[in-house]
């Protein structure tokens, strides 16, 4: 099946040979955040949503955020996204 992100990865040159298989996050205009490859929700509130990814936790801060989609592998966050942090 065609995957846009896989195509992008193949076309982008990875000069240092880093591992790009963990997860993908796309922030669309600060209002929609699409996450692929999450490993479970950690925190859920209107101002803060955090979830586990491979070897890290991603923290998303914002306003009036809701999880518009949650499946086994993907997350879609809607709202005003102010900050995305990986720890």
Partner 1 sequence: MKFKNETKFEITGLNQEKLLNELCKTVSLSDIDRREKNKTSFKCSYFEHKKVEKFLKSKNVKIDSVAHESVAYKFHKLFTSWGLVVAIVLFAVLYFLQGQYVVQYEVSGVDKLSEESVVDFVKENYPQKKSQIDTEAIEVGLTATFPRISLVSCMIKGQTLVINIKEKLLPNEMYGDFAPLVAEKDGRITEIELISGTLQVKVGDFVQKGDVLVEPYTIDTSGQLKKVEARAEIKADVYYEGSVDHYQTYISVERTGNIAVENTITLFGLTIYTFKEEHNFKMYEVEYEDVELSKNLVFPFKMKKTYIYELSERVVESNFEDVREEYIAMARESALKNCENTDNIKDEYYTLRHLSGVTIVNYCVVIEEEIQTYESEAVG
Q: What is the largest CA-CA distance in the chain?
A: 39
Q: CA-CA distance, 67 to 87, in Å (whole number)?
A: 21
Is 54 one of the binding residues for partner 1 (CB under 8 A)? Answer: no
Is 56 one of the binding residues for partner 1 (CB under 8 A)? Answer: no
**Closest CB to partner 1 among residues 5, 42:** 42
Contacts of 8 (CB under 8 A, 6+ apart): none
**Closest CB to partner 1 among residues 15, 40:** 40
User: Which listed residue (66, 80, 82, 86) binds partner 1 by CB under 8 A?
Assistant: 66
Helices (H), the chain: 4-11
What residues between 9 and 28 interact with partner 1 by CB under 8 A? Answer: none
User: Which listed residue (15, 71, 83, 87) binds partner 1 by CB under 8 A?
Assistant: 71
SS3 of 17, please?
A: coil
Give the interface with partner 1 as residue ranges (CB under 8 A). 40-46, 66-72
């Amino acid at each position: 099946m065609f995957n846009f992100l896989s195509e992008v990865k193949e076309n982008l040159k990875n000069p240092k040979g880093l591992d790009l298989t963990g997860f993908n996050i796309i922030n669309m205009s600060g209002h929609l955040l699409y996450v692929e490859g999450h490993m479970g929700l950690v925190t859920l509130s209107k101002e803060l949503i955090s979830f586990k990814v491979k070897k890290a936790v991603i923290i998303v801060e914002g306003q009036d955020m809701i999880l518009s989609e949650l499946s086994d592998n993907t997350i879609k966050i809607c709202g005003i996204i102010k900050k995305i942090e990986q720890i």
